[in-house]
Amino acid sequence: MTATESAQAVPPSWQPALGGVLATPEARRLGGWLKAEEAAGKNIFPPRGSRLRALELTPLDNVKVVILGQDPYHGPGQAHGLAFSVPEGVKVPPSLVNIYKELASDCGVSPPGHGNLEHWARQGVLLLNNSLTVQQGQAGSHQKRGWEAITDAAVAAAADKAEPCVFLLWGSHARKKAERVPGLANSHHLVLTAPHPSPLSAHSGFFGCRHFSRANEFLKAHGREPIDW
């Protein structure tokens, strides 16, 4: 996806926030680099047409909760544009298994039997990765190529919303990204932190964090519809 294609693909509600950054030389270099990588025969995930899926399913006007991931899953058929989510029919990844475990413990919600989180996104849960593409089999391979400026702008736009929102920051990478948004920690939003839900760290404080119920309690207290997790 070129920078021009990205700008055209950005949903209307996000265009004022992202239009400027998509017009920068850095964004143009990102678009050219991605095109060259694909021309060289490298498999890039997710496929074109779904790289801005998080913004498409969750318009800025609808954002209630922000969940930040690092980069897309790098296995075939896994990534479809939403952090932590996989299409139905794809094995649920370990981190999402642990997310479902905490959700069951916190809210009594049984795992749905699939890993597709589009129903969260459509309710206002922005499932945004730091990088929106990755090369097959190489985690983190598209970091520091230009996506960060674009996704930082999206997070900043959510933080600028007048309506109170919830930011769920799981792991140091998500916390560092949120720290790049001036004033978020002292804003009218609720910012909750916990270790990453991966098997390596979930037992260090992700389990028992109760982020899902705490998010809904905050939304209801501020007159917003809670999330049907």
CB 183 within 8 A of CB 191: no
Report H helices in 40-182: 53-57, 94-107, 118-121, 147-159, 172-179
Residue of 187, 149, 186 lying closest to 18 (CA atoms): 149
Residue 71 known to be catalytic: yes
Backbone angles phi, psi at 72, to 5 degrees: -65, 155
Nearest-angstrom CA–CA distance, 69 and 118: 15
State the virtual CA torsion across 24, 128, 178, 111 in degrees, nearest 10.
Answer: 180
Nearest-angstrom CA–CA distance, 183 and 51: 28
DSSP assignment string, 4-39: HHHHHHS-GGGHHHHHHHHTSHHHHHHHHHHHHHHH
Nearest-angstrom CA–CA distance, 142 and 133: 6
The residue from 61, 71, 106, 160 that is catalytic is: 71
Residues acting as catalytic residues: 71
